[in-house]
Amino acid sequence: MKSQFQQVALIGKYHSAVSGTVAGSARAALDDIAQFLVAEGCAVVVEQATAASAGLTGFPTLDVIGIGEQCDLGLVVGGDGTMLGIGRQLAKYGVPLIGINQGRLGFVTDIPLDNYRAILTPMLRGEYAQDQRSLIQAQVMRNGECVFDAVAMNDVVVNRGATSGMVELRVEVDGHFVSKQRADGLIVASPTGSTAYALSAGGPLLHPSMQGFVLVPIAPHTLSNRPIVLSDAMEIAIEVVSGRDASANFDMQSLASLLHGDRIVVRRSQLSVRFLHPKGWSYFDTLRGKLHWNEGG
């Protein structure tokens, strides 16, 4: 029985493939996976920048738009950052994604590279669990006009400048005033992003099936400013009241510089990303493995 996926795109951790050693390692891993996919009956294409950076030849290449329009599966080899970047770009096409972990933590790239053949073989034949993740839509509004528009899978983070003091932020939810906060910044995270920066800042974990946001202050001046979980049907607005060199980060991969009076408006995107996991996959297994919950007992 051959793969149920006819055309598979291979996407790698190409941003780090700059030194000869890293590029050689990436090329070897990608080539091995590509050959495996061909043996499973898949037509393989390589994402254009991945092929160029890793020096991978012998397979046709497509840009992200081409992958979205022509492929029925994306196989992402790298870490969570690689998956975040390509997931946002492919979300509007509905292409499902499988992650092979060549990074560190791997909350959403959960297949270990050294055992990918045994795990991928049944998945390619239709034995997998599906996991739909909502995206965040965010806009920076300045004098009533949108000056920056982005989607994020993990989080939207409003930060103080690197060499400045705290920022003061005014927070509204569905048009209702919530608080003014003086802090190093504020995180709005999706359930997917609750295991990222929000967790480091003391936020709670949200199960990915939840339809919610978590709002987490970063080093607040007033310790009673605590994380709060909100419905993602709500609209969150964060206004920059004071503070120098503030910025808004989207998945820590795109950046907008902010002025006093700017409003960062956050809502649930209409787009979502579809992940495929091995049959029997459990979010709690992932947490135990990545957060080492079984150690020290």
Instruction: Give the catalytic positions in this structure.
Output: 80
For residue 281, give both structure tokens.
Answer: 């996959």
Which of 243, 236, 245 has its CA nearest to residue 263? 236
Pairing of strands 247-250, 236-242: unpaired
Which of 184, 178, 180 has its CA nearest to residue 247? 184
Pairing of strands 212-218, 228-231: antiparallel
DSSP string, 122-135: HHHTT-EEEEEEEE
What's the CA gap between 93 and 91, in Å, rounded?
5
From the centroid of its chain, how far is CA 155? 8
From the centroid of its chain, how far is CA 86? 8
3-state secondary structure of 154: coil
Say if CB 9 and CB 71 are below 8 A apart. yes
Report helix angle 20-39 to 116-124, nearest 10: 40
Say if CB 274 and CB 156 are below 8 A apart. no
What ranges make up the beta strands (E) of 4-112? 7-12, 43-47, 61-62, 73-78, 97-101, 111-112
Which of 77, 38, 45, 43 has its CA nearest to residue 59? 45
Phi-psi category of residue 192: left, alpha or beta, with phi > 0 → left and psi -120 to 50 → alpha? alpha
